[in-house]
């Protein structure tokens, strides 16, 4: 019996999304005779029942195109903006799923998408997810598609900044995306030869950073490249968060515990994304002129790399296989050059952070890179 498959992309756009859509669709149609449709603009389009056919013609020629032909949004099934209000539209989505006679909904996205897909799975929908994000922070998979492309863009930027930093004897502080994980900044910093790399997993001391830059200057290197993850946090702020966390764990007063948690969130919010402030601090402490480059969404755009196309194609074709086999409620993960179905409950609510003993960190230290600690 012919199976009907729905596909949506949710969250931030990422290079490789179209490659994954193409792989799922072509394998499903060609190998298994399935019918495939796409929902526009993520879960929003599923709620509003806005679709487009994903047939041989629409899937042709999209492998190398960045972004997503389906469009995307960050709207959640149970927290959907409707008519100026935030509403739970889960029942409407479930109804649309059944009215479309779908056998499976494939959701391409990061951590938030995993949560939303799991939410729908608990309401009886057959779902499968694919891990995409430039942040590479989805638990359960070794790598996410989009990461390699973004890494290449960040490395290229650092390469270009080296020449201007050297010419003007400046500190160049470059902010790299990655949300609350340091994979992108660490990888780009090591590959680009950054002199300082600051990531969320290693709270930094600005005095140590300044001293490492001054030490380079004293040894005849009058410029420095500082690669900063957008989620990097100072040791001072982290110490305060740790202190508040311990207090919250010890108190039995629910109101006091919530107050402490809110204070932790506020400190965390106000302590990240401080690249401009950090550059100013370093300029004052070292007396060296500083300049800031924030790469921002530049890292999301453009043609996906060969590695991301390969990964997206592998995951996409494996997804079609799992649909045929009836394996639902899973994320298609990349492990040891294989694809494996990982239960969504093992993925949801978790974030893959850079471990302190990761080889990239060890290599950075061995070549003399300052990590702020």
Active site residues: 135
CA distance 14 to 303: 10
Backbone angles phi, psi at 149, to 5 degrees: -65, -50
CA distance 155 to 177: 12
SS3 330: strand
Alpha helices in the chain (DSSP H): 17-32, 42-48, 56-59, 90-99, 111-121, 147-168, 183-192, 206-218, 235-250, 254-271, 275-286, 306-325, 359-366
CA distance 318 to 163: 44
Residues 79 and 86 sit within 8 Å (Cβ to Cβ): yes
Cα of first residue to Cα of last residue in the chain, in angstroms, is 60
Neighbouring-strand partners of residue 99: none
CA distance 66 to 17: 7
DSSP output for 65-103: --S-TT-----BTTBEEETTEEE--HHHHHHHHHHTT-S
Token digits of residue 124:
């009886």
Give me the long-range contacts of 90-93 (CB less than 8 A, separation at least 24).
90/119, 90/120, 90/123, 92/47, 93/43, 93/46, 93/47, 93/120
């Amino acid at each position: 019996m012919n199976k009907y498959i729905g596909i949506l992309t949710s969250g931030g756009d990422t290079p490789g999304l179209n490659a994954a859509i193409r792989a799922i669709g072509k394998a499903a149609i060609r190998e298994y005779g399935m019918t495939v449709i796409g929902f526009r603009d993520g879960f929003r389009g599923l709620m509003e029942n806005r679709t487009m056919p994903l047939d041989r013609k629409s899937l042709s020629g999209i492998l190398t195109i960045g972004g997503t032909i389906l469009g995307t949004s960050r709207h959640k099934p149970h927290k959907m903006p409707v008519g100026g209000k935030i509403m739970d539209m889960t029942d409407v989505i479930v109804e649309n799923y059944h009215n479309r006679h779908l056998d499976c909904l494939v959701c391409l996205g990061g951590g938030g998408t995993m949560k939303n897909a799991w939410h729908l799975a608990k309401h009886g929908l057959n779902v499968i997810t694919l891990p995409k994000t430039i942040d590479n922070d989805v638990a359960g998979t070794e790598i996410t598609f989009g990461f390699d492309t973004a890494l290449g863009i960040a490395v290229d930027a650092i390469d270009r900044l080296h020449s201007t930093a050297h010419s003007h004897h400046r500190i160049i502080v470059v902010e790299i995306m990655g949300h609350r994980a340091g994979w992108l900044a660490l990888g780009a910093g090591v590959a680009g030869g950054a002199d300082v790399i600051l990531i969320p997993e290693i709270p930094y001391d600005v005095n140590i950073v300044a001293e490492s830059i001054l030490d380079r200057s004293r040894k005849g290197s009058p410029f420095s490249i500082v690669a900063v993850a957008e989620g990097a946090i100072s040791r001072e702020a982290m110490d305060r968060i740790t202190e508040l966390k311990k207090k919250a764990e010890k108190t039995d007063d629910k109101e006091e515990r919530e107050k402490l948690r809110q204070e932790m969130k506020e400190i965390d919010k106000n302590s990240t994304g401080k690249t401009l402030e950090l550059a100013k601090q370093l300029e004052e402490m070292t007396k060296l002129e500083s300049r800031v480059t924030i790469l921002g969404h530049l890292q999301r755009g453009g043609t996906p790399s060969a590695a991301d196309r390969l990964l997206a194609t592998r995951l996409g074709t494996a997804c079609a296989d799992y649909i045929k086999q009836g394996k639902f409620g899973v994320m298609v993960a990349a492990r040891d050059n294989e694809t494996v179905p990982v239960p969504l409950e093992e993925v949801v609510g978790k974030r893959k952070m850079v471990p302190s003993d990761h080889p990239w960190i060890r290599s950075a230290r061995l070549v003399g890179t300052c990590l702020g600690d």
